[in-house]
Amino acid sequence: MGTMLFQILYLVGYFFTNTFQMTKQITSLEDYQSTYKYSIENPENFWEEQANTFNWFKPFDKILEWNFEEPEIKWFVNGKLNITYNCLDRHIEVKGNQVAILWEPNNPNENVKKYTFKTLLSEVNKCANALKAKGITKGDRVIFYMPMVPELAIGVLACARIGAIHSVVFAGFSARALADRVDDAQAKMIVCSDYNNRGNKCIQVKQVVDDAMDLSCNSIETVLVHQNTGGEVNWSDDCDVWWHDLVDNQSDVCEPEWMDSEDMLFILYTSGSTGKPKGVVHTCGGYMVYTCYSFKNVFQYKEGDVYWCTADIGWITGHSYIVYGPLLAGATTMMFEGVPTYPDAGRFWSICEKHKVNQFYTAPTAIRALMAKGDEWPQKYDLSSIKVLGSVGEPINVEAWEWYDKHIGKGKAPIVDTWWQTETGGILITPLPGITDTKPTFASYPMPGVQPVLVDTEGNEKIGNGIEGLLCIKFPWPSMLRTTYGDHDRCCQTYFSPFKGYYFTGDGAKRDEEGRIRIIGRVDDVINVSGHRIGTAEVENAINAHPEVIESAVVGFPHEIKGQGIYAYVIVDGNINSNDEFISEVLKVVVKEIGPIAKPDEIQIVSGLPKTRSGKIMRRILRKIASKDISNLGDISTLLNPEVVDEIIEQAGLKA
Ligand code: WT7
């Protein structure tokens, strides 16, 4: 019976595949301009046309319902689909034997792995059946805590196949951070690896999961463990299961679950300016349409190209532009297990040569770090296959942009500086390579269907060019977040309340005289360290967990490689033996509470923090001191304790 239903589905899908065309690609500047105009004047028609390039098990009967008050956003209302059917099954007929995922191991001497669309579908189906065998059904949450191995992509797709909601936690987060996310999502299962090969390090992964399970994680019934290195692990017969025992002998046929357009596809936790990280929720239909459309256009992917995004699947970039966008578009997408500097600083470029990479997408931090290693590294390799270069996650400075252009793109591969967020699901502002112009440090132009505006602090739209303001979006796009998991009010407060009628991004931006947008950076208490978003409040809470800490204040400061570094001012209780010892203890606490990515670069022990009369910490002043720029501190006479400012400045060695 089940198989028969599947066959019927398959036929329906087959019918649609052959009826509709693939997502449209913009081909010229005029095309971009007219498409943009059309998409703004007729957003529903525009997105309907894009949506119709996919397989729907049941067509949607309305394109969009929305209000930004609640907020409530619904795209492709009452449509039924499965995103994995669109990523995999629908490509089988034409390109079943084309490589879908190309996996490059950490160790360059080990073998690459290739999954064709056909073999990937089989693996996904086996894993999907394994999840079902462990009682996972539609709507259940599954947490992934894994290195960049193919099984991570397979597992994520397996969840989507059966309608389970995946939530990938970057494998650099601590047991505490993992446990917080498991608890918030009330997940039933964790999928992890035994160990993680990263450069010349071998990192314990299963052990962190065990530690998280000891802390809380009461909702977890099963821990599915992929054997990656074969190193020894502690085992609990109650809940631990080996991937190879459970997954390998499952059937490779699994009917895709019919999902409503607005059913949840995944939760991804990200930091905000207050409290604990929030679970950004994306849904099936809109996310599918937007990630595919943006992937095809931003990277100008052509049949046969090899596309490589160096991000980790633990971040949104990996979700949208390693897994979903490329697979939906039928592209060959590469996954890299390792790090840019192992075995040496030429690794990225050697991989580009080895696999003849056509589109290369990375973060400014990586570019700056590799630039610092010298021009000789890219010079050793043939990079002539590269047609498009991408940048994401943080502002790219002019020097890094120019180096990337000259030494990697050889002046002939346009750079797309793509601006977006976990919440936006896909790239919203970017040049289109070979189509629109590029200008260093400018994300430039909105994608079709995207309506960015700059507002003043009162929420009035600033019209015209040559202006600066707060970046908002005034009309829904298909892949926008729908809620924050378990706390819709927080979603409303964070994104929709600051300026009535707009989605607020948290970024400040400029528009130049020709209308290009330049992202300046966060205007809230979020810092962007190496392209990773970290909330200052989160780091403060972690530091405050040290028993000798009374209070702390954390700010960002410009950092040559990381973009921003973390600077912590800490008030200490009583006597500490030595500052060095105390500082290393504080670092340990942060690693334990959050993970190494949140470690402060600077810790200054202070006797007080500058506060307003109402008791609010004056972060503006602390930011200036951390940036070693005390030229213009503004009026500090109204502070509760102005004397502490001089003391902090002096301690920081800024006064002669
Ligand atoms: C924040 C979102 C987008 C996926 C990775 C980060 C900053 C992102 C750019 C860019 C300048 C950028 C913004 C944004 N950001 N891209 N091209 N130029 N800043 O996703 O972790 O959700 O962080 O990253 O400040 O708000 P995220």
pLDDT digits (tens, 9 = 90+) for 32-83: 999 999 999 999 999 999 999 999 999 999 999 999 999 999 999 999 999 9
Pocket of ligand 1, candidates 321, 394, 484: which has the most ligand atoms within 8 Å of its Cβ, to mutate?
394
Instruction: Answer yes or no: is the C-beta of 394 below 6 A from any ligand 1 atom.
Output: yes
Please report which confidence band the pLDDT of residue 637 belongs to, taking 50, 70 and 90 as the band edges: confident
Q: Which atom of ligand 1 is nearest to the CA of 533?
A: 21
Q: Is the CB of 556 under 6 A from ligand 1?
A: no
Question: Does 13 have pLDDT greater than 70?
Answer: no
Token couple for 337: 């297990």
Residue 176 alpha carbon to ligand 1 centre in Å = 25
Please say whether the beta carbons of 162 and 139 come within 8 A. Answer: no
Q: Are 619 and 555 in contact (CB under 8 A)?
A: yes
pLDDT digits (tens, 9 = 90+) for 468-509: 999 999 999 999 999 999 999 999 999 999 999 999 999 999
Least confident segment among 246-255, 452-461, 574-583? 574-583
Q: Given a cut of 60, is residue 16 above it in pLDDT?
A: no
Q: Which of 4-8, 120-124, 619-623 is predicted least confidently?
A: 4-8
Q: pLDDT tens digit string along 79-137?
A: 999 999 999 999 999 999 999 999 999 999 999 999 999 999 999 999 999 999 999 99
10 Å CB burial of residue 252 (0-12, 13-18, 19+) is middle
The residue whose CB lies within 8 Å of the most ligand 1 atoms, and thus the one to mutate among 420, 447, 504, 518, is 420
- To which residue do tokens 């997105």 refer? 47
| Between residues 104 and 13, the one the model is more confident about | 104
**Rounded to the nearest whole angstrom, what is the distance from the C-alpha of residue 505 to the centroid of ligand 1?**
10
Top mutation candidate among 519, 526, 534, 564 for ligand 1, by most atoms within 8 Å of CB? 519
Distance 393 CA to ligand 1 centre (A): 4
Mean pLDDT computed over 605-611? 95
pLDDT band of residue 6 (cuts 50, 70, 90) is low
Asked if 471 and 421 count as a contact pair (C-beta separation under 8 A), the reply is: no
| CB distance 365 to ligand 1 below 6 Å | no
User: Does the CB atom of residue 320 touch ligand 1 within 6 A?
Assistant: no
pLDDT grade, residue 10 (50/70/90)? Answer: low
* Mean pLDDT of all residues in 363-392: 98
Which atom of ligand 1 is found nearest the CA of 505?
26
The pLDDT of residue 644 is 95
Among candidates 382, 336, 343, which has minimal Cα distance to 361? 336
CB atoms within 10 A of CB 634: 10
Amino acid at 364: P
For position 21, what pLDDT does the model report? 64
Q: Which atom of ligand 1 is nearest to the CA of 519?
A: 11
Ligand 1 pocket, 144 CB below 6 A? no
What is d(CA 383, CA 482) in angstroms, rounded to the nearest whole number?
Answer: 41
Cβ count near 641 (within 10 Å): 16
At residue 1, the pLDDT reads 43
Cβ atoms of 368 and 558 closer than 8 Å: no
Tell me, in angstroms, the distance from the centre of ligand 1 to residue 392's CA: 7
What is the atom index within ligand 1 of the atom nearest the CA of 420?
3
pLDDT above 80 (res 575) = no
Q: Is residue 317 lining ligand 1, measured as CB closer than 6 Å? A: yes
Looking at the CA of residue 531, tell me the nearest atom of ligand 1. 6
**Ligand 1 pocket residue status of 443, Cβ below 6 Å:** yes
- The answer to whether the CB of 312 is under 6 A from ligand 1 is no
Q: What is the mean pLDDT of residues 191-199?
A: 97
Q: Is the peptide bond before 71 cis (omega within 30 degrees of 0)?
A: yes
CB of 530 shorter than 6 A to ligand 1: no
Helix axes 43-51, 284-298, angle to 10 degrees: 90
Q: Residue holding tokens 């570094």?
A: 565
Nearest CA to ligand 1 atom 18: 395
In angstroms, the Cα distances linking 436 to 172, 229, 293 are: 37, 46, 17
CA distances from 191 to 182, 237, 248, 317, 398 (A): 12, 15, 15, 20, 41
Residues 6+ apart with CB under 8 A from 451: 40, 473, 474, 475
Q: Do strands 532-535 and 526-529 pair parallel, antiparallel, or not at all (unpaired)?
A: antiparallel
* pLDDT of res. 22: 77
Q: What is the pLDDT of residue 273?
A: 85
- 522 CA distance to ligand 1 middle (Å): 9
Fill in the amino acid letter for 355: H
Q: What is the pLDDT of residues 321-367, one digit of tens each?
A: 999 999 999 999 999 999 999 999 999 999 999 999 999 999 999 99
- Among residues 151, 167, 172, the alpha carbon closest in space to that of 229 is found at 151
For 228-287, the pLDDT digits (tens) are 999 999 999 999 999 999 999 999 999 999 999 999 999 999 999 888 899 999 999 999
CB distance 564 to ligand 1 below 6 Å = no
Average confidence score pLDDT of the chain: 95
Report which of 73, 183, 189, 164 is spatially closest to residue 488, judged by C-alpha positions.
73
Q: Which atom of ligand 1 is nearest to the CA of 522?
A: 25
* Nearest-CA residue for atom 2 of ligand 1: 421
Q: What's the CA-to-centroid distance between 268 and ligand 1, angstroms?
A: 15
Which helix (H) or strand (E) segment is 124 a member of? helix 117-133
Mind listing the pLDDT tens digit for each residue in 143-191?
A: 999 999 999 999 999 999 999 999 999 999 999 999 999 999 999 999 9
Q: Does the beta carbon of 209 lie inside 6 Å of ligand 1?
A: no
pTM value? 0.95
CA of 36 to the centre of ligand 1 (A): 23
Closest protein CA for atom 12 of ligand 1: 394
